A and B are shown apart, each in its own frame.
Chain A
Amino acid sequence: MLKLRLAELPEGHAEGGAPLAVPVRPGAAVPDRFAAAAAAAGFNPAHFDSTRGEALRLDGALGGRTTWLVGVRPGPMGMEAAGALTAASLAGEEAPGGRRGVIDARGLPPADVAALAIGAGIRAHRLPHYGATPPPALRRLELLVEDVAANEPGIARARAVLRGAGLARDLAAEPANRLTPPLFVERLWELEEHGIEVVVHGRHWLERHGYGGLLAVGRGSAHPPRLVELRWPGHSGAPPVAFVGKGITFDTGGVSIKGAAGMEAMKADMAGAAACAGAILALALRDSPAPAVAVLAIAENMTGADSYRPGDVLRMGSGLTVEVVDTDAEGRLVLADALHHARGLGPSAILDLATLTGSIVSALGHHRAGLFGNDDALRDAVMAAGEAVGEPLWPMPIGAGHREVLASEIADLRHCLPPGGGGPGWAGKFLPDACHAAAFLRDFAAPEGAPAIPWAHLDIAGMDLREEGREAGPYPLPPGPSGYGVRLLDRLVEDRFEP
């Protein structure tokens, strides 16, 4: 966790001799006091083009202190990207007293200072590392400003969001042997200290309430499933907004087992639940007036002697019966029960987040998450929040045909189509599985005849992990969980649910 501090001190005294970063905005020239050092290093300052978003290291610019010129590229995420680039640049500096640095943010409006802080904090976050030599990361960052008081609210907000996103990323990065469903729940109990009410439902409770989807998925594992509620009471007295997260701590695929290649990434198949938990933490830390509740469906999908099978028929919490076609489409089963549970909490809106389908990756790649739902106003608000925080989405359809093909011969519906089940010929090999999944979830999030609650479904497969050599997101991060969704939900609550 990067420690952020605001200071008004002249830069020469800040943080001892810690390296200094100076953001250079698009169109701005290199400040005069650095131009000489740049020239001394054989570099023509006029060639520094800040719009490329690059960093330039100057030695000896200010006495013995290392100084970085950090280009701010144009565009809404430019300042945040500059913060991230600063953190990455300073991380390599061995400064006395540990890895720390200073950003000269004087002259920037508070929103830009906060964006620098968030970018730096996201980039400097240290994911769990079980080896002897964790990769270097910036530990402390001081932001030089002209008026500490004016900037304090923005930095407080940044700290809250960074802790929320950090929690989500840490959870998603944990290996599945260190984050089984019960261990996941233990981590969630820790949130109580921030005023979050934690309610955990175990297997017996789930059996009593007939949550057949979550129970079936968790049945093959030695670690039983859990349904967790995280309640942030807020203080506006309004009905809560509900976040629903898919929390498959590891997904082998079950009996319909996955291929071995890349299966290790399935430890992050709980990124949706982690993002919901992170968002609740962020709301609590910044003392949001809006009540919110997260419903997390936590299970491990293993092959076992008692695993659920293709062809099984489940009775879900809502009473609907579901024919299982492919045990690797387990996310929608646990979400269905969680969505049903969330409806029972009387929320003003429901948003579910899940690393749900490979199909959405084929559709949108690693630059946008898929957005489905039943409410245009909520869709637009989610789109806007995503754009604002650099976690963009794209609206996707639930067509009549997507639901029709889920008809089952034996149950109320089936949860997916078998591979190649799209009919004869070439086109039948391709299944719009993300749309099918959304159509399936709609039967539980917005059942026909029941009171309508605005609902949005975010298929975040493809957005949850950063990989080496693959461009994604507004700026580069080290490989590992991105925390996608935390900032989006936090922003959405601020835009739409706070009075």
Chain B
Amino acid sequence: MLDIAFAKPTLPESGALVLPLTEDDLGGSLVAEWDRLLGGHVARGISAAEFKGRKGQSATLYAPGGGLSRLVLVGLGKRDALDATAAEAAGGAAVAALGKESLAAIDARALSNGGGAAMPADIALGAVLRAWRFDRYRTTEKPEDKPRLTGVKVLCEDPAAAKAEWASRRAVAEGVFLTRELVSEPANILNPPEFADRLRKLEKLGVEVEVFGQKDLEKLGFGSMLCVSQGSAQPPRMVVMRWNGSDQKKKDSKPIAFIGKGVTFDTGGISIKPAGGMEDMKWDMAGAGVVSGLMAALAGRKAKVDVVGLVGLVENMPSGTATRPGDVVTSYSGQTIEVINTDAEGRLVLADVLSYCKKRFDPAFMVNLATLTGAIIVALGNEHAGLFSNDDGLAQRIQDAGKAVGELAWRMPLGDAYDRQIRSDIADMKNVGGGRAGGSITAAQFIQRFVDGCPWAHLDIAGVAWSGKDSATVPKGATAWGVRLLDRMVADHHEGRAVAAQPAPEPAEEPAALVTGADSASPATLSEGTPASEPLVPTPDAVTRPAEAAAPVPRAPRRPATRRPRR
């Protein structure tokens, strides 16, 4: 991470100076001050570069006077519209414009004039988020080609206050970087055991880490999750992370829970994917990556909240031991699943981890993240993640936090009619709905069958976990979408008070608007064409299924649990 320092404004002796300016600052005292210090070059440069201070605009002046190598002007737009996101974007834009500079100072006063004391810390956050780079495997890159920026000094009126604001942001940035690193790692390095080993390092931050291996999961009866990993030479892991940061040590206060899908590589299994683009499946563990980074962020900033993070880590490979389409497995919850498509594996992992989380921790709510479906990209693209929830309040909190940090989520529908699409002829459910129609929704319905009435939200992040191009604060590649959003939601709503004191969770049913019209009556179909005068046979109620009534389903074959990964 870049070294960040805060200082009173002075003319740096060397290096670069970044001057973020609102449209209202042009011709103002801030510009006049620098103009005086730099011998009149600033005003002339502004006019020569036709710099108007518009949002997203930037201009670089080389050797602008003093000992400076360059002066970067960054537009902030209108002063009235300044917010944290604008400050972060300015920090990011500044880093992007700094080229091969090694040291830079950013004058944050134009921001604090408009937006308050936290702005210098926001601009620093934007800078470090943008400057992150994953170059572990670039062994032949020439030193002169590497970015050289090592530190940024943020100039502001009250450095002490800014530094205090920075501490929590720094922790969040560390969390984001953990996520980005995990997501960027290739799958031959980051297999489930290695992933779990890395999470053990969170113990240093005070996170309790428990790792479950093959045998543990078999003993628990994780038939759904284990059927995904059984084709791989890499054994599965489930990692339970706990951060107990609340002051309340009352026994009855419930933790909040985050659950992540961690498929370290997804070939699709026997339902193998086409080759084009398959390399991206190394980031099919982004949900687990986000939960890991979130735990690091919350622990790093000593968040006053009791939170559990669970990740299900598996590799989905085709092999002689792999699960086949048509196989039936028994989940931890007891519900049976007909595996129609082995490439719909994420929901199989989440099913067991969610059931386990609910049963063991009885959390106030559960939020799961998963790169779950291509269909969510067809629905929304890559600006919004898909948000599914059985709780309007929780959904609203997620959407609001997302807006605040620039990680947007769009609510998608649930409903009985979609749920009926995953009925199976042989088991309690199948793992895909028929055809492509509503593919993200049927996936969410599948997951919802394992939350056991707990307030729950599912974030389908397939479209937002990885970016093909740079944005202001996120270099292309792993985005860590969700770490900042969920950290923000926790900070805004779940800290400093017992979770039990939260407004009572709303009933775990869909809001009326979600249900109306979607609960089509197939019973009418059943009755049509029934032989006349024959009493209608009551159809079995599909909702209350006898968990153990199904024919005994063979467990996944036992296999050595401790096979070490090849490293």
Contact = CB atoms under 8 A, between A and B. Distances in A.
Contacts of A245: none
Contacts of B384: 397, 399
A475 B525 CA distance: 8
A475 B516 CA distance: 13
B516 A43 contact: no
Interface string B217-253: 0000000000000000000000000000000000000
A346 interface: no
B438 interface: yes
Contacts of A58: 533
Nearest to A82: B524
B463 A427 contact: yes
A145 to B, nearest CB: 24
B504 interface: no
A401 B522 CA distance: 40
Interface residues of A, number: 68
B39 interface: no
A29 B337 CA distance: 38
A363 B418 CA distance: 12
Most interface-central of B438, B462, B517 (chain A CB within 10 A): B517
B533 A81 contact: no
Contacts of A429: 276-277, 374
A365 B533 contact: no
B440 to A, nearest CB: 7
Given A472-B520, A476-B528, A363 B438 contact: yes
A57 B532 contact: yes
B532 A88 contact: no
Interface stretch (A45-53, A128-136, A308-316): A45-53
Interface stretch (A146-154, A289-297, A386-394): A386-394
Interface in A75-112: 75-77, 81, 84-85, 88-89
Nearest to B436: A362
Give the interface SS of chain A, mostly helix, strand, loop or mixed.
Answer: loop
Given A59-B533, A76-B516, A363 B440 contact: yes
Contacts of A52: 523, 536, 538-539
Contact of B517 (A387, A397, A426): A387
Interface residues of B, number: 59
B415 interface: yes
B274 to A, nearest CB: 9
Contacts of B528: 55, 85, 88-89, 476
A433 interface: yes
A392 B516 contact: yes
B216 interface: no
Nearest to A429: B277
Interface in A362-404: 362-368, 383, 386-387, 390-392, 394, 396-397, 399-402
Interface in B90-116: none
Interface in B462-500: 462-463, 466, 468-469
Contacts of B468: 423-425, 427-428
Contacts of A175: none
B520 A54 contact: no
Given A361-B437, A363-B438, A474 B523 contact: no
14 contacts: A44-B535, A54-B523, A55-B524, A57-B532, A75-B516, A362-B436, A364-B438, A365-B438, A367-B520, A387-B513, A392-B516, A397-B380, A425-B280, A476-B524
Given A362-B437, A397-B380, A397-B383, 7 more contacts: A52-B538, A365-B421, A365-B437, A367-B413, A426-B276, A474-B517, A475-B524
